[in-house]
Amino acid sequence: MLAKVRRVEHIMGFPISVDLRDGDAASHAAVDQAFEWLREVDARFSPFRVDSEVSRLGRAELGPDELSPDLAHVIDLCDFYEESTGGAFTPRLPGRGFDPCAIVKGWAVQGAAELLHDAGARRFCVNAGGDVVTFGESEPGVPWRVGVRHPERADQLCVVLSLRDGAVATSASYERGDHIIDGRTGQPARGLLSITVVAKDLTTADAAATAAYAMGVEGIGWAAAQPGCEVFAVDSERRVFRSPGLPLAG
């Protein structure tokens, strides 16, 4: 058994950390592969890089038959959440071009976690700017504890969650301002201070949290109705909503 590994890199505009608590040489080597995958995703999917596949698609330099399987999958996910939310979530805002970042982040980090798991790691956590995917336990018999920041008080938590083999993502405006747009109005989303979604994987948790935030208060019920999702939310009236199955830490 090798020593624990803790590593942080700044990719896709935010810090991404890996906390690996077990594994052999192969799984430790996979940490390098996981970060390389994340850098590759950033290069291929960032709408802010002129040579990325996403930017080329936006300039109509790629036809439908020329998309990579990964980009085709991401577009399918975007279409699913756009249709499911009645257009509140959309990667195609006027004047902005195609921007799948709200889907790509969770999908990419989940992919990095699966690389680690496939290499033999069984107890680890990947944290991408506060959105977290966990496998196994932090210590034998001890689940991972994930704190969710209070939406108005940066030095406080509003809830602490207990996770084994699961993911949690939060959407709010306290870090990046009004960056989530309600596609139905073209205006910044209103009605929620923050919404946190717990799911089996970060692809689902992150996409559902973003989509629900774009919907406003109605997004709480929508997110809670998504298969395998649990929700913690604070609306603009400071009312707290918590789904019955939310895995609260003891």
Percent of the chain whose predicted confidence (pLDDT) is above 90 = 87
Q: Which two tokens stand for residue 120?
A: 């033999």
CA distance 126 to 53: 26
Confidence label for 176 from pLDDT (cuts 50, 70 and 90) = confident
pLDDT of residue 203: 98
Confidence label for 28 from pLDDT (cuts 50, 70 and 90) = confident
Radius of gyration of the chain (CA): 18
- The three-state secondary structure class of 245 is coil
Q: Is there a contact between 15 and 9 (Cβ–Cβ < 8 Å)?
A: yes
Confidence label for 79 from pLDDT (cuts 50, 70 and 90) = very high
Structural domains for the chain? 5-242 (3.10.520.10)
Arithmetic mean of pLDDT, 21-44:
91
Nearest Cα neighbor of 131 from 189, 77, 195, 43 is 195
pLDDT of residue 2: 59
Arithmetic mean of pLDDT, 91-110:
93
pLDDT at 179 over 90: no
What single-letter DSSP state applies at residue 50?
A: T
The string of pLDDT tens digits covering residues 105-161 is 999 999 999 999 999 999 999 999 999 999 999 999 999 999 999 999 999 999 999
The string of pLDDT tens digits covering residues 222-232 is 999 999 999 99
Confidence label for 33 from pLDDT (cuts 50, 70 and 90) = very high
Percent of the chain whose predicted confidence (pLDDT) is above 70 = 99
Query: Which range among 26-35, 58-67, 182-191 has the greatest average pLDDT?
Result: 182-191
pLDDT of residue 3: 66
Calculate the alpha carbon distances from 146 to 30, 142, 189 in Å. 24, 12, 26
- The three-state secondary structure class of 61 is coil
